[in-house]
């Protein structure tokens, strides 16, 4: 008996240390980035490194004062915001249609949505660069947001599909019998219920756009986003600028993943079926 409980508790110990180790694997590199960001430029370039941040805002100030950086940051936010709005406005109705209606061509439509996920989407940026020049929206925030919407749309359709599927149709039918039209039943009954989920899906679209590097670098020249700006200056920028920039890239991601964590799993569960 003693043997069994001993092997069980040692198994428990291995299991717990595995969990802790894997958490450290994720967090320690992030901590290193934090140290570098909160150190003076001199400390960032010095050797050996301290393993405790000195809480100096020198690197971040340098980042903020670097020519073009703040406008790149602003561009990133705008592109991501437009992407977020477009992908919800376009995607949510389709998600609703998939969850509530049986119609001819439904499977083909779902296939098209899944197909977009099976292709290297950033490559679209190459032909679109030409197309945008012809239509005069080259090197604009809006043009880039259109591509990022293509990246985010499949996700927003699938997430909203799973959200609407989670709400019983009886609720809607009850509203109809009580005198609601299809539209008012949707706005008064369904919308309040799915709003948190829609927000999560919007945030997800924001992160997809915020993080995208390749299309942003190909499609913007004057109006660079933060990722494109950092990429372009990788060869020439000093270390403390890279680390501060990397940190600014990471922070919203941390917050956003926390905000959408409940919905991450639901959406992939449904996507498998």
Partner 1 sequence: MHSRTLPYLLILPVTVFLGVFFLYPFVLVAQQAFTTGAGFTFDNFTKVTTHWKFPTSFKNTLLLAAAVVPVQLALALLMATMVTNMKKGRDLVLYVWTIPLGISDLAAGIIWLAIFEQSGFLNSMMQGLGFIEQPTNLISYQSPMLVFVAIALAEIWRATAIMLVILVAGIGLIPKEYYEAAEVFGAGPWKRFTRITLPLLRPSLSTALVLRVILAFEVFAVVQALGGTLFPVLMGETYKYQFELLNGGAAAAIALIILVISIAATLVILRVLRVPKGASI
Residues 85-124 that bind partner 1 (CB under 8 A): 89-91, 93-94, 96-98, 100-101, 103, 105-106, 109, 112-113, 116-124
Q: Is 25 helix (H, G, I), strand (E, B) or coil?
A: helix
User: Distance between CA 96 and CA 104 in Å, rounded?
Assistant: 16
Q: Taking CB under 8 A as the criterion, which residues in 51-80 touch partner 1?
A: 51
Q: If binding is defined by CB under 8 A, does position 200 make contact with partner 1?
A: no
Of the ranges 11-19, 67-75, 168-176, 184-192, which one interacts with partner 1 (CB under 8 A)? 11-19
Residue choice 45, 61, 184, 187 for contact with partner 1 (CB under 8 A) = 45
Q: Taking CB under 8 A as the criterion, which residues in 127-166 touch partner 1?
A: 127-131, 146-147, 149-150, 153, 157
Q: Calculate the CA 44 to chain-centre distance.
A: 29
* Residue reference for tokens 């990133």: 76
* Residue reference for tokens 């043997």: 3
Residue 228 burial (CB count, 10 A)? 25
For partner 1 (CB under 8 A), the number of binding residues is: 93
Residue choice 6, 29, 111, 187 for contact with partner 1 (CB under 8 A) = 29
Nearer to partner 1, 191 or 257 (CB): 257
Give the residue from 175, 203, 202, 201 showing the smallest Cα distance to 189. 175
Q: If binding is defined by CB under 8 A, does position 1 make contact with partner 1?
A: no
Cite the DSSP H helix spans in the chain.
Answer: 2-37, 41-45, 58-65, 69-100, 106-117, 125-135, 141-165, 169-177, 182-185, 191-211, 214-219, 226-232, 239-272
The CB-of-261 to partner 1 minimum distance in angstroms stands at: 5
Give the residue from 180, 115, 174 showing the smallest Cα distance to 107. 115
Of the ranges 52-60, 167-175, 194-202, 255-263, which one interacts with partner 1 (CB under 8 A)? 255-263
Q: If binding is defined by CB under 8 A, does position 177 make contact with partner 1?
A: no
Q: If binding is defined by CB under 8 A, does position 14 make contact with partner 1?
A: no
Q: If binding is defined by CB under 8 A, does position 245 make contact with partner 1?
A: yes
């Amino acid at each position: 008996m003693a043997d069994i409980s001993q092997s069980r508790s040692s198994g428990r110990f291995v299991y717990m240390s595995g969990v802790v180790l894997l958490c450290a694997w994720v967090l320690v590199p992030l901590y290193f980035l934090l140290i570098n960001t909160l150190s003076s430029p001199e400390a960032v370039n010095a050797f050996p490194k301290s393993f405790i941040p000195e809480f100096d805002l020198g690197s971040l100030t340098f980042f903020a004062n670097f020519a073009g950086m703040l406008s790149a940051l602003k561009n990133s936010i705008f592109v991501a915001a437009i992407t977020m709005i477009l992908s919800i406005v376009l995607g949510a109705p389709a998600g609703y249609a998939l969850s509530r209606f049986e119609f001819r061509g439904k499977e083909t439509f779902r296939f098209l949505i899944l197909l977009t996920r099976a292709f290297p989407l950033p490559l679209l940026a190459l032909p679109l660069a030409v197309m945008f020049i012809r239509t005069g929206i080259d090197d604009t925030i809006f043009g880039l947001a259109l591509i990022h919407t293509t990246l985010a749309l499949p996700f927003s359709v699938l997430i909203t599909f799973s959200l609407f599927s989670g709400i019983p149709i009886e609720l809607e039918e009850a509203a109809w019998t009580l005198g609601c039209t299809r539209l008012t039943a949707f706005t008064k009954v369904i919308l309040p219920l799915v709003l948190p989920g829609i927000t999560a899906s919007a945030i997800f679209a924001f992160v997809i756009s915020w993080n995208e590097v390749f299309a942003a670098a190909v499609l913007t020249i004057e109006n660079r986003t933060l990722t494109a700006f950092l990429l372009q200056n990788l060869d020439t920028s000093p270390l403390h600028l890279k680390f501060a920039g990397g940190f600014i890239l990471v922070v919203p991601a941390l917050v956003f993943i926390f905000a959408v964590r409940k919905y991450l799993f639901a959406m992939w569960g449904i996507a498998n079926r």
